[in-house]
Amino acid sequence: MSDEIADRVGEERARVLLAGAAATVEVAERPPLPAPRSRRRPVMLAAAVVVIAVLVVAIGRLGVDRAVPDAVPSPAPRVPTAPALDPARATAAETFIAWARGRGAAPRFAARVRNMLAGADHFGAPRWNDRPGERASWAGCSGLGFPDCGLDPVAVVLREPGRPRIAAGRPPCADGALPVRYAGAGADIVRLEAPGGGCAGWVVELWIDHRGEIYAVNLARGLAGG
């Protein structure tokens, strides 16, 4: 009998405990709704994607620029500049022009002056002119003399109606190659040429040292009266 009473007391006690536990549990009538998503998050996400894409492109271009440098244009070919014409040589050239035209004393010549035609020796004239101060001594013809001979550097200047042009260095159109000694004396070369320069007219080359002394003459291009 006592065991049966104990069982009933235990069962009642269990029911009381279950009822108390049930009273402590709150049950909502409706399940809670998810919180509304902010509209800024998609915009911010899209902006972040754009920024990342720009960075990727910039880094890629930076790598390409470093790997393949910009093409550097090749420099234009340099045009050699003519040496400057110093006063002593310019004065000697002016004196030569005036003398060739019979308007003044002879310039300062060396005792023997090399006489060339297109860089070589004259056909009828001596290789060296021992009388350079005489205008008639420059004619390169065996029959015709000064000033009728066309192979004559002095007659070329005499027959020029305009004022000859004075310049330093050899012209690009000079006929013939020079002997080594004279080809290597570039600073001494002073050319007289038809007004306006260029390669259409005559050219007479004078070798003038730093003292203004003429030691070689070359009819580089053109003929007297031509």
Cβ(114)–Cβ(216) under 8 Å?
yes
Residue 3's H or E segment, with its range, is helix 2-24
Tens-binned pLDDT, residue by residue, of the chain (226 aa)? 444 544 454 556 546 554 554 454 454 455 455 555 555 555 555 555 555 555 545 545 545 444 444 444 555 444 345 567 899 999 999 999 999 999 999 999 999 999 998 877 555 455 899 999 999 999 877 677 788 887 899 999 999 999 999 999 988 877 677 888 898 898 999 999 999 877 778 999 999 999 999 999 999 887 544 4
Confirm whether 48 is domain-assigned: no
First to last CA, the chain: 163
Helix (H, G, I), strand (E, B) or coil at 95: helix
Confirm whether 18 is domain-assigned: no
Please state the pTM of the whole predicted model. 0.61
Number of domains in the chain: 1
Six token digits for residue 16: 């009381």
Residue 49's H or E segment, with its range, is helix 40-67
Measured CA to CA, the distance from residue 147 to residue 72 in angstroms comes to 58
Confirm whether 122 is domain-assigned: yes
Measured CA to CA, the distance from residue 188 to residue 207 in angstroms comes to 5
Where do the DSSP E strands lie in 74-200? 109-117, 120-121, 128-129, 165-168, 189-193
Residue 51's H or E segment, with its range, is helix 40-67
Confirm whether 187 is domain-assigned: yes
Confirm whether 36 is domain-assigned: no
Determine the structural domain holding residue 185 and report its residue range: 87-221
User: In the block, which residue shows the tokens 């003398």?
Assistant: 99
H-assigned helices in 70-215: 87-100, 153-159, 180-183
Confirm whether 53 is domain-assigned: no
Residue 42's H or E segment, with its range, is helix 40-67
Confirm whether 193 is domain-assigned: yes
Confirm whether 199 is domain-assigned: yes
